[in-house]
Structure 1
Amino acid sequence: MIKSIDIQLGSLRCFKACICLDFLEDLGSDYEDALLQAEFGKFHFLLLTICGLIYLNTAIGITIISFVLPTATCDFDMTSKDKGWLSASPMLGMLIGSYFWGCLADTKGRRIVLIVTLLADGICGLVSSLAPYYLIFLFIRFANGFNVAGTMGIVFPYLGEFQPTKYREKILCWMELFWTFGIILLPGIAWSVIPLQINLQFSVFTYHSWNLFVAICAIPSILLGLWLFSFPESPKFLLEHGETDKALDILVCMFIQNTGRKRDDYPCKSLRGPDRSNKKNGEKGIPNLRFRRPNELKILISEIWTQTKTLSKKPYLKNSFLTCGIQFCLTTSYYTLMVWFPELFHRFDDYEKANPGISASVCDVSSIVITNSTLSGCDSKINSQVFLHTIIIGIACIPTSFWLPLCVHHLGIKFFLVFSLTVAGFITFGLYFVRTSLENLILSCIFEALTSLSISTVYCVMVDLFPTNLRVMAAAMSMTFGRGGALLGNLIFGFLIDLNCIIPITVFSAMLFVSAFLCWLLPTTGTQALD
């Protein structure tokens, strides 16, 4: 009897929450109840799979340059400064692309922008593998970074807007595991392809194994972009833009896929649209992604400026400042060192071969190796130990990748951020004191495990900190600061690694401490429905 009453009351609550009644004012709870009635199952696991693979592909796209730097040295006749510019070029693309794609995703749709950026990234990757000259390769990798910025900034909001509150934080935290697999997979691909003896001579350039490696890493972007056509737009985004019927249809399809029941069994029959609106002059629905008239580009620029001003005012000013500061400090250290780790392993390997049994610091190794290589000529072969060490770094991230989603509800996201960034700051400073390649490997493993965890966790936090109409733009703004820091960091490291490497190491360590302090100031998240 009691169970029957509970079922009836549950159905009544769902009907009251979902039906379009004038006195209902809380859009968040309406959408939250509709999500709960769609249940959690097969659809969510498929969505997590494709979003996770997109994030894995992003990890490959961002760090692929780390294996191109040592292997393309001879083909492009690169100095350390040239390598610094090459490693910075994707970051410059991400710096510019973050805002552009962020505004499009908040005004045109998450799914369509994800598809466009994935396909464009894959095509640019294939083209870059055929680039005959350094400057051409540099420009195309800039275009890759421009597209990756859209993918990385949108995938977390897209995934998070399908999740009920009680699952959202944990599901988003599982994305860290996919990033880890990307960090492990990349050196595995490099190890299987780059050592191959490929030497094809064409009229303007030679095609070596590293060219094939770049092409192979570009293919997943195209495949994922095509697969994403089978997934729906975010119903939360559609609801925000007044497309209540389309949003409800998606929720019904989720219900059918999760439960195997019929369409009529879904208890929510309608959804109440939002009070706020992004539409102007009576415009209905979502604008097309294509710019058919010149004034549409002006409208886009105006929307970017409007959303930026909104994020720079109360009640969003504090969160915008904190997330931008965290991204700048964290990304400067993380992406710079991750891109340069294989190069540092390569230099340690060269030094230990030439000076067996003699220890030296990272700075000493760099200066000695560069001097010797200048005198002895160009050698772009990578020892197998470099690939193995990079794979070990990725494997070292697996424990923290499981630790985060399994313990996030018990310890809280702020704990993970503050703890991991503080320890990573000490580890970064400790790089100056290493004397062997083994010590360098151990510290690199700890650094990667903690900082990659922080990168993913910051994106999880931002899904909760900002409302639907500003969520991707807020992520884009913070990414702009982050990529600006990564650009600066790669340039600093490229210029100073051979001259005075204690300066960049100290700067990166200090930035991680600052980032940890800013994370401590963040509000608690993961307890409320999405706005």
Structure 2
Amino acid sequence: MVAKSCVTFEEALDMTGFGKFNFLAMLVTISLITSMAFEIMSVAYLVPASACDLNTTVFQQGLMAGMPLLGIIATSHFWGYLADTQGRRKILSLCMFLAFLTGASAALSTNWIAFSVLKFLSSSAVAGTYALALTLLSECTPKNRRSILVASTSTIYLSATGVMAVLSIPVLQLSFSHHLPLLDITFVPWRLLNLIFSMPCALAAVGVYLSYESPRYLLSVGDDEKALEVLKAFFVINTGKSADEYNVGSLVLGEDTGKSVKGLWASIISQTVPLLKPPLLKNTVILSILFVIVYVGLNPFIVWLPYIADGVMKSLENGHDTLSFCDMLNSVQNSTTSENNDCSLNKFAMITVFVISIIIASLNVLLSSVINCVGRKNMLIGIQLVSGLAGICVAVVDSWIASTVCLIIFTSGMLNFGMLSTFTVDIFPTYVKAMAVCMTLMVGRGSSFLGINILKNMLVSNCELAFYTFGGLTFVGGLIAFLLPGEIKLKKQDPVEATKL
């Protein structure tokens, strides 16, 4: 009988193979990210669709659309702390359950304030979902496949936003109206759409509850036996062989696990302080700046894409096909939906949003397949620079068709949402990894609250300046990305040394 060996965690994970378990883990990740996307991005469809029922102004709509990002600011740090101290799986289950309760309740909002509060609470619940899902997936995936899978999660997010557009078409075209005396509200299509958008959270809560905990996390907190049991389970599921054939007797994490501290705030501080001082400070600052630029420059356009597409399509229906892109938006901004009490979004506009989402999602699949050849840093820089130039060109060209193409290229910059996360996952050690991912995402998404409100007002008052400003900011992000650690440098060093870059 061959003696069991003592190996590092990464070696042990590689020995489990890549197969059925990883496929199941990816399905769970898909459910989690879809749930998060549906809850966070639901405001892009619900805010304009509820304008007639809730009698909201442009300013109020901006606040409503920005609530999910404020929720992210409020709790991302906290979810990161809990995931690093209580486990990824347990916290993700809790997040999904709370998100379903609060998200579904928004369908019964009596006014825009109640809607905003409930969306704030639901987004607070899912604030850490994307980061924790990436962390759990990366810690259960062999290193040679990790970057590809983590980067491909952007495809899930993009596809989910496209599916939302498709779902909104038949639902918002319905004409039912039921009065609910207890709340003194009228149950109309946008409320039904809200319920539909919240359902994936319930399904994801069940899926992640039935999943395995991250073996890397278990090892980092000293539960070596449980970590080995989980890795054996991966091996059995992937290979179909007996657990006895898994030639690993004991595990070594191979990186710093941090200092053990007691107390809630002391623990939070112990996981946050390392990110804010050398050797991790440099990468924390660079990644935080890039997350701010990427999310401020691009996320507002993703949120208001249904509004933009709706305006362009309505302008075309009015025969204004000779106008420039911004002139088309300006031509319909004074024709408010409240005049005819019709807040349903144009179905061709929603189809357009779906097509754009699928195009970008397909592009992400293509780029993910060649990421190891091109290099993450080079790809991120290229996407950011091209996207920024395209954003500026939207306002420069006269043809609305050319502007639409440029807009698609510009919004494709959101591919870097997932790309940046792969750097965070690889650079930081396990004991602060979830906190690092949550904190950088919190900074980026939280700062885009301001961008969402600014963009909506600029689209109404100065459309051209909006594209110059946000496109230029995106281009600058590409230049700053040159400061990221190189791919070769990351590959040559072990997890401990990688934190010193």
Considering the TM-score relative to the shorter chain, is it more than 0.5?
yes
Residue 32 in structure 1 maps to residue 10 in structure 2:
yes
- Aligned AA for 1:221? C
Match of 2:370 among 407, 412, 419: 407
Residue 194 in structure 1 maps to residue 156 in structure 2:
no
Describe the SS at the equivalent of 2:425. Answer: helix
- Aligned AA for 2:390? I
Aligned match of 1:147: 125
Residue 417 in structure 1 maps to residue 397 in structure 2:
no
User: How much does 1:311 deviate?
Assistant: 0.6
Describe the SS at the equivalent of 1:269. Answer: strand
Aligned match of 1:25: none
Describe the SS at the equivalent of 1:270. Answer: strand
Change (3 A) 1:250 1:375: closer
Aligned match of 1:432: 395
- Aligned AA for 1:300? L
User: How much does 1:17 deviate?
Assistant: 3.4
Question: Hey, what's the Cα distance between the residues in 2 that align with 1:436 and 1:200?
Answer: 44
Q: Percent identity?
A: 25
- Aligned AA for 2:6? A
- Aligned AA for 2:159? F
User: How much does 1:437 deviate?
Assistant: 5.2
Residue 63 in structure 1 maps to residue 41 in structure 2:
yes
Aligned match of 2:499: none
Question: Hey, what's the Cα distance between the residues in 2 that align with 1:303 and 1:506?
Answer: 44
Match of 2:158 among 144, 157, 180: 180
Residue 227 in structure 1 maps to residue 207 in structure 2:
yes
Question: Hey, what's the Cα distance between the residues in 2 that align with 1:45 and 1:387?
Answer: 31
Structure 1 runs not aligned, ≥5 long: 1-7, 19-29, 284-298
Question: Hey, what's the Cα distance between the residues in 1 that align with 2:438 and 2:255?
Answer: 25
Q: Which moved more, 1:301-310 or 1:124-133?
A: 301-310
Q: Is the 8 A contact 2:5 2:250 kept in 1?
A: no
Question: Hey, what's the Cα distance between the residues in 2 that align with 1:420 and 1:276?
Answer: 34
Describe the SS at the equivalent of 1:17. Answer: strand
Change (3 A) 1:462 1:351: same
- Aligned AA for 2:368? P
Aligned match of 2:186: 206
Question: Hey, what's the Cα distance between the residues in 2 that align with 1:92 and 1:467?
Answer: 28
Residue 388 in structure 1 maps to residue 388 in structure 2:
no
Q: Is the 8 A contact 1:89 1:138 kept in 2?
A: yes
Describe the SS at the equivalent of 2:461. Answer: coil
Question: Hey, what's the Cα distance between the residues in 1 that align with 2:154 and 2:213?
Answer: 23
Aligned match of 2:237: 257
Describe the SS at the equivalent of 1:233. Answer: coil
Describe the SS at the equivalent of 2:445. Answer: helix
- Aligned AA for 2:270? T
Q: Is the 8 A contact 1:128 1:141 kept in 2?
A: yes
Residue 138 in structure 1 maps to residue 101 in structure 2:
no
User: How much does 1:367 deviate?
Assistant: 4.0
1:213-272 per-position Cα deviation (integer Å, ceiling 9, x unaligned): 110111111111111111111010111111111101101111111122222222112224
1:80-126 per-position Cα deviation (integer Å, ceiling 9, x unaligned): 21111111111111111211111111111111111111111122111
- Aligned AA for 2:218? L
Question: Hey, what's the Cα distance between the residues in 2 that align with 1:438 and 1:377?
Answer: 29
Q: CA RMSD in A?
A: 2.2
Residue 482 in structure 1 maps to residue 444 in structure 2:
yes
Question: Hey, what's the Cα distance between the residues in 1 that align with 2:467 and 2:11?
Answer: 49
Question: Hey, what's the Cα distance between the residues in 1 that align with 2:380 and 2:223?
Answer: 37
- Aligned AA for 1:37? M
Aligned match of 1:295: none
Question: Hey, what's the Cα distance between the residues in 2 that align with 1:215 and 1:419?
Answer: 39
Match of 2:461 among 470, 485, 499: 499
User: How much does 1:184 deviate?
Assistant: 2.1
Q: Is the 8 A contact 2:294 2:414 kept in 1?
A: no
User: How much does 1:322 deviate?
Assistant: 1.0
Q: Is the 8 A contact 2:34 2:200 kept in 1?
A: no
Describe the SS at the equivalent of 1:174. Answer: helix
Structure 2 runs not aligned, ≥5 long: 497-501
| Structure possessing the higher radius of gyration over alpha carbons | 1
Residue 303 in structure 1 maps to residue 267 in structure 2:
yes
Aligned match of 1:469: 431
Question: Hey, what's the Cα distance between the residues in 1 that align with 2:338 and 2:17?
Answer: 66
Q: Is the 8 A contact 1:165 1:530 kept in 2?
A: no
Q: Is the 8 A contact 1:17 1:33 kept in 2?
A: no
Q: Which moved more, 1:229-238 or 1:510-519?
A: 510-519
Question: Hey, what's the Cα distance between the residues in 2 that align with 1:157 and 1:84?
Answer: 32
Equivalent residues in 2 for 1:24-103, closer than 5 Å: 30-103=8-81
